[in-house]
Structures are given as C-alpha cells and as structure tokens.
C-alpha cells in the first residue's frame, strides 16, 4: 500500500513537471497577441486578389490584436428620461439590434408630490457581445439629455484564462495516468486508493472547467446596467402674508378636528363605563338608601300644646 502511494506521488510529480513547460509556452503564445505589430516596411504585401479577403477579416475583427484577449467589460448608466416605460422598450430594441438580450427588468414606483401622476423608475440589466459594448453603450446614452451617472469598467483575465487551460491540461494528463495504473491494480485496497485519486482529480478538473466557462461567458458578453429615472418635479411654495394666513387657517382647522375627535373618543370610552360600572353602582346605592329609610323607627308623636286660659 505504501509502495502504491509513493508510486502515485512520483507519477503526479513527473506529470506536473512535464506540463509546466507547456504551460509557459501557452502563456507566451497567448500574451504575444498583445505585442505591437511589426513595422510597415517589414510586413509582407498581399497580392491584389487577396485585398477583399483581408478587408473582410478586418471588418469581422474590429479590435484587431485585442480580439484574442479575454476582457470583462461592465457599464452602469443612470439616465433621466421623460417616460421610463417608453425608454425601456427602446433600450430593449437597442440591445437586440446589437445581438444582445435583456437579463432582468425591474420597475419601482416612487412617491410623487402630485397624486394624479405616477412616477416609475426602471432598472434593466442587458448583455451584449463584447465587440458591441461601446456602440451599445453610446446609443443608450443618446436616449437622454441628462445623464446622471455613468461608469465603465474593464478587467483583463487573459492571464488567468491561460493558467486555467494549462492546469486543466495537467489534470487531464494526470487522470489518464491514474486510469492506466487502475488497470494494473490487482489488490482491492490498491484499486480503491487509485479510484480515490481519480475522483479528486476529476473534481479539480470540473472546478477549473467551470471557472473557465465563467470567464469565457463574462468576456464574450458584456453587461450593461441601465437605470431609468423620471424627472423630479420642483414645487414653488408661496411666501409672505398670504402664506401665514394659510398656515394659520390650517392650524385652526387641525385644532378643531383634534377637539372633535377627543370628544368622540371620550363618549365612546364613557358609554361602557357608565353602563357596566356607574349605572349598577347607582342602582345598588338607591336600593340601600330606600331600605335604610324603611327600617328606620318612626319618631313618637309630638304632644299638642295645652290651651292657654
């Protein structure tokens, strides 16, 4: 068992060393696309018949030497428009015209000083091909005369992408070597150990491939977040003597309303207190007073005064 583990360690180390050279070659070949082009006097001149094909290639690759790089582009735009609902449809049309699509669309109603008006703010997230990022962003910005905020970011992940490719290649080679060892394992415990190693390598490969697919997706499709906001209404309030009279009238009406509400609340609270507490107490007191009067002894009659001679 120890011999098998030592053998597996040696195999894994040798494969990693052998693939390190291929990783450096892949990195150099990938980064060489960013080097400046050769001078015009050293470039080969294409025949006249090949000019249309060269022109076609330049049209299909608008970024030239940057086409092979992996760059994640994002933009966050906040626009003030007259009608966010109508502008939402125009933004969707722009995204579809450039080969993109709408990922999410969210609307939120904002309180307004005028109850008759409905103010809605809309937030959209769209994805467009990377080479259409600039034209799409500029066309969306043209929908508003008042751009509140705009932000664009770019992240070059070319080096990480090349590193992932090299690591995947190394892990695949290691998995193939373990499969060959698996065929030669005669003991059950040796087979289980090799199978465990294969499972770990396969897990690592799937993790690296998932990260690679994520970078490919994010670099091939750029993300643009568009926030559409309706104009804010500014109300002009009156000042001076007329404003003071208006405020005094509002305060008097408010005080009168509070007094009336207090009286209504007082009556509502006192009705059950009177019916269930004061009224029974009054009836009992009246009954006791009447009974006391009936039980009280009658006073002797006062003798009449004698007549005077």
- Which pTM does this prediction carry? 0.55
Query: Within 13 Å, how many C-alpha atoms sit on residue 24's CB side?
Result: 5
Q: Are 212 and 66 in contact (CB under 8 A)?
A: no
What percent of the chain has pLDDT above 70? 69
pLDDT of res. 294: 79
In this prediction, residue 62 has a pLDDT band, given cuts at 50, 70 and 90, of very low
Mean pLDDT on 250-261: 90
> How far is the C-alpha of 92 from the C-alpha of 122, rounded, in Å?
12
Residue 87: burial class (beta carbons within 10 Å; 0-12, 13-18, 19+): buried
* Mean model confidence pLDDT for the chain: 76
CB 215 within 8 A of CB 160: yes
50-59, 88-97, 184-193, 218-227: segment of lowest average pLDDT:
50-59
């Amino acid at each position: 068992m120890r011999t098998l583990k030592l053998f597996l360690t040696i195999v894994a180390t040798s494969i990693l060393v052998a693939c390190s050279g291929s990783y450096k070659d892949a990195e150099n070949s990938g980064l060489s696309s960013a080097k400046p082009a050769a001078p015009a006097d050293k470039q080969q001149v294409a025949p006249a018949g090949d000019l249309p094909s060269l022109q076609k290639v330049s049209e299909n690759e608008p970024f030239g030497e940057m086409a092979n790089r992996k760059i994640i582009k994002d933009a966050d735009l906040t626009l003030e428009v007259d009608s966010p609902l109508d502008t939402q449809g125009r933004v969707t049309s722009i995204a579809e015209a450039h080969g993109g699509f709408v990922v999410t669309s969210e609307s939120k109603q904002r309180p307004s000083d005028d109850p008759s008006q409905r103010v809605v703010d809309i937030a959209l997230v769209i994805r467009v091909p990377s080479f259409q990022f600039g034209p799409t962003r500029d066309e969306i910005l043209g929908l508003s005369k008042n751009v509140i905020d705009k932000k664009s970011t770019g992240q070059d992940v070319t080096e990480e992408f090349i590193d992932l490719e090299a690591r995947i290649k190394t892990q695949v080679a290691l998995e193939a070597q373990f499969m060959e060892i698996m065929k030669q394992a005669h003991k059950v415990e040796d087979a289980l150990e090799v199978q465990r190693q294969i499972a770990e390598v396969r897990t690592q490969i799937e993790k690296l491939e998932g990260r690679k697919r994520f970078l490919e997706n994010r670099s091939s499709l750029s993300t643009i977040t568009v926030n559409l906001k309706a104009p804010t209404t500014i109300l002009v309030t009156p000042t001076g003597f007329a404003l003071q009279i208006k405020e005094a009238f509002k305060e008097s009406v408010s005080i009168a309303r509070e007094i009336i509400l207090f009286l209504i609340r007082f009556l509502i609270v006192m009705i059950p207190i009177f019916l269930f507490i004061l009224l029974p107490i009054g009836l009992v007191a009246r009954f006791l007073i009447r009974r006391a009067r009936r039980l009280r002894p009658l006073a002797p009659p006062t003798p009449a005064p004698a007549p005077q001679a």
